[in-house]
Amino acid sequence: MPRRPLNFVKNTAGSPPLDFQIGAQKKSTAQNRAIARSERSTKRATRKSTSSGIDVDRLERLMEDYLLDCDYRLMSSNTIATRRIFMRNVIWFLRHRGYDTCDTSELRQLLVYLRRGHEEGNGRWGNPQWNKPARPATIRDYYVALRCFFNWLVGEGLLDVSPLDPIPKPSIPTEHVQPFSPEQIQALLKAARHSTQPRRNEAIILFLYDTGVRATELCQLKMQDVDMGNRHARVLGKGNKSRVVYFSRETARVLSLYLRQRPREPEHPIFLSRIGRDYPPMSRSALLRIIRSLGREAGLTAMQVSPHVFRHSAAIQLLRNGCDVYSLMSLLGHSSLTICLTYLKLSQADLENQHRRYSPVESLSSRRSK
């Protein structure tokens, strides 16, 4: 016998029909779930707005713990030193502005201060020498360092969310560094040969230009890292990743003449900052001063002169000489092709100029005109 619909069920107690009761129950359950979801969402929003900030005094202590963790994770000494400077400046800014806590609003003010702080009477970070706006790359570096720090706090369970999450990563314009021409390299070598330490400075220029190593990689180079017979050296790059770089016979010859001036043990640095009883390794700041001084002596005052320009110049010259992009990426120690493709575009622009100057058809046209 077929079952009757629910709305025909007999109502014996004077209560609403059973189908109405079921519908009311479903409606009530749906409403309760919606209310619960709303409450959870409100709690989540409240928690995010209140638990992302942190007391400045506690923040300073946690920054020291974070730097200790960076050391434990074998980050390079330069990375740790740079982040320590960044963290110290962040604390200075928060105290200078009188902030008791650090949250999204304070971090946004900090990033603006990096661009505008030099306009204050006493300079950025209270130093009158910092009287120019920070470079876009510097602002991005601050953002990245702070993001790593606050993500570490979240990972440690010390914060629920990072106060930097609502702030997008600052974009930076593409900077095209003008590479050295062969004539400018010759001018720098001539200036090196007439400097106070000609052997060392000539070896520095040739090694930078021949290998494309970073400034830190050159300064950390030791005797045990260099194989003069096979003309290659092992350098320690970013992320503690080692790689082998190669140099020419001419670079090996000049480097040998420099090393003969003073015998060294395998653990001694290749490039010394001065002559003395000890073996002081050259610092990045000392290397920059040497390169800039040689640039002034060479008359290169209208362009940027730094160790990193040698890296750009080496990359572009390698491409011009026929090196492929993947080999260049390995030689320079890049983890992606992005920067190498930028070098490729610069080298191709040079090829375009060469073709416009030496076009076969243009040469035919010029012969007809004669």
Among candidate residues 164, 118, 111, 119, the one with its CA nearest the CA of residue 142 = 111
Give yes or no: residues 151 and 190 share one domain. Answer: no
Q: What is the pLDDT of residues 326-361, one digit of tens each?
A: 888 889 988 777 777 777 777 666 666 666 666 677
Give yes or no: residues 147 and 187 share one domain. Answer: no
Give yes or no: residues 210 and 262 share one domain. Answer: yes
How many whole angstroms separate alpha carbon 252 and alpha carbon 185? 17
Q: Is 286 exposed, middle or buried (0-12, 13-18, 19+ CB in 10 A)?
A: middle
Quick check: 197 and 241 in contact, CB under 8 A?
A: no
**pTM for the model:** 0.68
How many whole angstroms separate alpha carbon 233 and alpha carbon 8? 93
Q: Write the CATH number for 260.
A: 1.10.443.10
Residue 17 neighbours by CB under 8 Å, 6+ apart: 6, 7, 9, 11
Q: What is the pLDDT of residues 54-105, one digit of tens each?
A: 999 999 999 999 999 999 998 888 889 999 999 999 999 999 999 999 999 9
How many whole angstroms separate alpha carbon 86 and alpha carbon 273? 27
How many whole angstroms separate alpha carbon 203 and alpha carbon 77? 25
Residue 68 neighbours by CB under 8 Å, 6+ apart: none
Which pLDDT does position 34 carry in this prediction?
A: 62
Strand partners of residue 101: 55
pLDDT reading at 38 higher than 80: no
Which pLDDT does position 13 carry in this prediction?
A: 47
185 CB neighbour count, 10 Å cutoff = 19
Kindly state the average pLDDT of the residues 108-117: 92
Mean pLDDT over the full length of the chain: 83
Give yes or no: residues 111 and 200 share one domain. Answer: no
Among candidate residues 89, 79, 91, 153, the one with its CA nearest the CA of residue 125 = 89
Give yes or no: residues 187 and 302 share one domain. Answer: yes
Which pLDDT does position 44 carry in this prediction?
A: 42
Strand partners of residue 234: 244
Give yes or no: residues 77 and 192 share one domain. Answer: no
3-state secondary structure of 196: coil
320 CB neighbour count, 10 Å cutoff = 15
Tally of domains within the chain: 2
**Domain with 84 in it:** 54-155
Extract the tokens encoding 227. Answer: 């194989």
Label residue 222 by pLDDT band (50, 70, 90): very high
pLDDT reading at 10 higher than 80: no
The answer as to whether 23 is a domain residue is no
